[in-house]
Amino acid sequence: MGPTASGKTPLAERLATHYDAELVNADAFQVYRGLDIGTAKPIDRERYQLLDILNPDQGFGVGEWVRLASTVLQDAFTRSRNVIVVGGTGLYIRALFEGYAEMAEPPDPALRAELERREAAEGLPSLALDLWSLAPEIAARTDLKNPARVRRALERLASPPSRLSFEMPAFRRRKIAIIPDKDLLERRISARIYEMVHNGWVREVQGLRDAGYLPEHPGFRAIGYRSIWETMGGETDLDQAAATTIVETRRYAKRQRTWLRSEPELNVLSLGLDGSSFDATFDQARAIFESEV
């Protein structure tokens, strides 16, 4: 675990090589095909499970991820394979490792299709009015200008939470996190965003646009994608989009650090202020994984 740009991916991959382990993605946006540069997707994708499994217009959440991940873990356990779960979406990992039981079932595809049909025919205000009528307390805390959130709220009302049945296989489990010094992390975030722009992030978003995807689709909730989209319509320039994305990413990293402070049984790895201690960090992680307590 760890905030964005902390170095999770190279550490996870090195540990996976050392332990002959399978890698399981626990990043909420790396599940989407085509969102590669802006999500800092790993280069060697063939090593990962639960990567590139959805199109950007498909909804996805913690319940769906836990179901898929638990299947992957059970399969690996039966084959006596080690597994490294890696990602910055803390809720996914906590739900899996701490055994959350109450989660909503995946939405009914027919209901989702009907809501999408109504939105196209009647407009979003019609769905928002339904939400106010059915559950004003939920409507009051829902962004009623966000079609995906309005539809999801209606889906949840129509599909009451049911018990999510899964049991974590009897792996010997350890949780580790890289949490760099704040100043170092902010420098890394800035450098990463500018590198993404340099490496073709605008072309990536243009390709998604050409494929028919829209900024209101679930995948575009990933930080930066809507800002990059706006450069294409002249609403902002690329420098401003990059600056906005840096600010949003730093805020997200702050929320991740706050989340990690409450993570049960978490082992935090030290990292030198200059970021040069990767070998030492790997040795710390290995010692934790091999500990008996």
Q: Which of 86, 57, 54 is nearest to 69 (CA)?
A: 86
Tokens 């605008």 — which residue?
Answer: 202
More confident residue, 90 or 293: 90
pLDDT above 70 (res 6): yes
* Element of type H or E holding 114: helix 109-122
pLDDT above 70 (res 160): no
In angstroms, the CA 260 to CA 242 distance is 27
Q: What is the mean pLDDT of residues 234-259?
A: 93
In angstroms, the CA 109 to CA 101 distance is 23
Q: What pLDDT is recorded for position 59?
A: 85
R_g of the chain computed on alpha carbons: 20
The pLDDT tens digits of the residues spanning 273-286 come to 445 578 889 999 99
- Provide CB contacts within 8 A for 155, sequence distance 6+: 107, 108, 111, 112, 115
Q: Which of 207, 200, 201, 252 is nearest to 227 (CA)?
A: 201
The pLDDT tens digits of the residues spanning 98-117 come to 876 445 556 678 888 899 99
In angstroms, the CA 23 to CA 159 distance is 32
Specify the pTM. 0.79
CB 220 within 8 A of CB 214: yes
Confidence of residue 192 (pLDDT cuts 50, 70, 90): very high
Q: What pLDDT is recorded for position 273?
A: 44
Q: What pLDDT is recorded for position 107?
A: 67
